[in-house]
Structure formats: C-alpha cells, structure tokens
Amino acid sequence: MTLIGPDRPGLVEELSATVACHRGNWEESRMSHLSGNFAGMLRIQCPEETYENLLSSLRSLENLTVSVSEELPETGYSQKIISFDVIGNDRPGIIQELASAIVRTGGNVEELSSHLESAPHAGHPVFKATGTVTVKEDFDEQGLIEALEGLGADLAVSIEH
C-alpha cells in the first residue's frame, strides 16, 4: 500500500498501532518526509477476516490517503541488483534521461533517490542520484556504465553489484 499526507509527529506510531490492532504483520516499508509531507510504501500481511477493517481504519486516519494493490508474483528469471551513483550539473530532464538509459540497457529501476546540492565554491546546483537497478543474471554492466556516462561529459557514474 502507499500512503501520503501531511507529516506530523506520531504518524508512524499511529500506523503501526493500527496494523497491530488488526493482527497485521508490517513486513517491509519505505517512508520519507518530502516538503512537509509523509509518503510511505508498506507491505503488510493480515488475516483475511481483518483485511477490510484494517483498510477502513487506515483510511480513516486524519489527512492520509491510502492506496492498496495486490502483491505481484515474482518474475521467474534469475536477477541481480546493481547499485549506482550519478553526480553532475543539474538540468531539466535529467531524471528522464537517467531512467531511459537504464531501461534501454535492460534494467529496471528498483530504488531511486535524488537531490540537489550547492556546488562548492561555485554555488550552482549539483544533481546527485543514488539507486538500484534489477537486471537479468547475465547482464552486461559495462553497457549500463556507458549508457549513463553517455548522458553528458559532466556526469560521474559509479556502479557496484
């Protein structure tokens, strides 16, 4: 499920108490604070008989939008995960270029975190992205490096698996 709404102290405790009250098991999550908002992705398992009441209780929490989807089956082929870091001058469209380069080489973005920092001494914005990509076991990492480096001479790229 995904949750989004204005952040406030005690929100995660309220969520976890609601899940526990309905005999749910909080299996996995990613949560973040961004521009005053809380955003979370949660993987929760609960008994079928408490499912509807759990959803109703979560949806009744103050100023919180809850979206639920069924868990998807595994892909069926061997995968490996590659971590990457990209740093360079910021420009409009850089995330789209990054995502396109990854998909063209056969990767799937699993995680992506990006932000801007002020360049030392110059003060202009520097783009930084960190993430993970899932690829088939026989994936050619060099192709990914070349695709990412091909996005611009000002980008520094590193990957590890």
Whether 62 and 102 map to the same domain: the answer is: no
Look at residue 74 and tell me if it is in a domain. no
Write out the residue range of the structural domain in which residue 132 sits: 79-160
56 and 84 together in one domain: no
116: in domain: yes
Say if residue 84 is in the same domain as residue 153.
yes
Residues 127 and 60 in one domain: no
Same domain, 30 and 86: no
Residue 153 DSSP code: T
- pLDDT tens for each residue of the chain, 161 residues long: 999 999 999 999 999 999 999 999 999 999 999 899 999 999 999 999 999 999 999 999 999 999 999 776 665 667 899 999 999 989 999 999 999 999 999 999 999 999 998 877 777 889 999 999 999 988 888 888 889 889 988 889 998 87
Residues 155, 92 share a domain: yes
Treating both helix axes as pointing N-terminal to C-terminal, what angle do 141-149 and 94-104 enclose, rounded to 10 degrees?
150
Please give the full DSSP string across 63-75, using - where no structure is assigned.
T-EEE--PPPPP-
Q: What is the pTM of this model?
A: 0.75
Are residues 146 and 95 part of one domain?
A: yes
CATH number, residue 110? 3.30.70.260
Could you give the number of structural domains in the chain? Answer: 2
Cα–Cα nearest to 66, from 87, 48, 44:
44
